């Protein structure tokens, strides 16, 4: 999978070199391209934003610079993802869908967002365009949101996780269940013992207990 991101802060994407994502890159499963939006600015001061038409606080990112940056990246293979708190809520099932894509482009807006004509333009040219939010809170920009999405999406690509069984085990989470609580050694820690059932060796009963616990936990965290 090819993943591109356009941002005024390319340094935000340094963590892509770490851990599973770094390995996935080395093995050629994913390829990242990080583009500095300012390199596409057309005016003297490399300005990328301006005041909003109609008035109001904040600045809006100008369409021309975004058009210049995105045009060379877009193809029939591309899913363009525009990060905005007003977008569709990202969840595990959306991650699963994007994990089957071949080319993702993340457009990281800052300030009050990107001039809406950028979205309108690529929609009008029949590209697949998605406005996505990672949750009901406002971040300083789309960079951290992109990283969250990239991590959730890429770990679902075959070959990225060391142990593919952990994917199979959590697959039901896509239907909205949370995971059961986990325990490892020692058997007793600060007078808190590991639940007896997990030491029983009875796999049927263990699976049943874990399912109950997962539901309990989901209810508590509603
Ligand atoms: N940009 C600012 N806040 C955001 C959010 N919650 N999700 C995606 N992009 C954003």
pLDDT tens-digit profile of 34-81? 999 999 998 889 999 999 999 999 999 999 999 999 999 999 999 999
Query: What pLDDT shows up at residue 169?
Result: 66
pLDDT of residue 190: 98
Contacts of 35 (CB under 8 A, 6+ apart): 4, 5, 6, 7, 10, 69, 73
Q: For ligand 1, say whether the CB of 199 is within 6 Å of any of its atoms.
A: no
Question: What pLDDT does residue 163 have?
Answer: 77
Please give the pLDDT value at position 174: 53
| Distance between Cα 111 and ligand 1 center (Å) | 11
CB of residue 135 inside a 6 A radius of ligand 1? yes
- Determine the atom of ligand 1 nearest the C-alpha atom of 138: 3
Check: pTM over 0.75? Answer yes or no.
Answer: yes
Got the DSSP string for 69-131? HHGGG--TTEEEEEEEEEEEEP-HHHHHHHTT-SEEEEEE-BTT-B-THHHHHHHHTT-EEEE
Count the neighbouring beta carbons within 10 Å of the beta carbon of residue 84. Answer: 21
User: Residue 171: its pLDDT value, please?
Assistant: 57
Any atom of ligand 1 within 6 Å of the Cβ of 85: yes
Average pLDDT score over the chain: 94
Answer whether 133 contacts ligand 1 (Cβ < 6 A): yes
Residue 133 has a pLDDT of 98
* CB of 142 sitting under 6 A from ligand 1: yes
Low-confidence ranges of the chain (pLDDT < 70): 168-169, 171-178
3-state DSSP: the chain helix, strand, coil percent, rounded to 5?
Answer: 40, 20, 35
Residue with tokens 């991590």: 151
The candidate with the shortest Cα–Cα distance to 146, out of 1, 46, 10, is: 10
pLDDT of residue 178: 63
Query: What does the angle CA 122 – CA 127 – CA 128 come to, to the nearest 5 degrees?
Result: 110
CA 75 remoteness from chain centre? 21
137 lines ligand 1 (CB under 6 A): yes
Is there a contact between 179 and 214 (Cβ–Cβ < 8 Å)? Answer: yes
């Amino acid at each position: 999978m090819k993943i591109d991101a356009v941002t005024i802060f390319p340094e935000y994407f340094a963590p892509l070199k770490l851990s599973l994502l770094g390995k996935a890159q080395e093995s050629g499963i994913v390829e990242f391209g990080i583009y500095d939006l300012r390199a596409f600015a057309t005016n003297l001061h490399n300005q990328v934003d301006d005041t909003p038409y109609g008035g109001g606080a904040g600045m809006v990112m100008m369409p021309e610079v975004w058009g210049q940056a995105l045009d060379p990246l877009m193809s029939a293979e591309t899913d363009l993802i525009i990060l905005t708190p007003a977008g569709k809520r990202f969840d595990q099932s959306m991650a699963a869908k994007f994990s089957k894509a071949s080319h993702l482009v993340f457009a990281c807006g800052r300030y009050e967002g990107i001039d809406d004509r950028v979205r309108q333009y690529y929609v009008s040219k029949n590209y697949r365009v998605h406005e996505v939010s990672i949750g009901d809170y406002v971040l300083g920009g789309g960079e951290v949101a992109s990283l969250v999405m990239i991590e959730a999406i890429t770990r679902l690509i075959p070959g990225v996780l060391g142990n593919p069984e952990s994917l199979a085990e959590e697959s039901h989470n896509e239907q909205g269940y949370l995971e059961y609580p986990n325990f490892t050694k020692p058997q007793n820690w600060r007078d808190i013992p590991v639940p007896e059932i997990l030491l029983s060796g009875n796999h049927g009963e263990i699976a049943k207990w874990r399912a109950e616990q997962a539901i309990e936990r989901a209810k508590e965290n509603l």
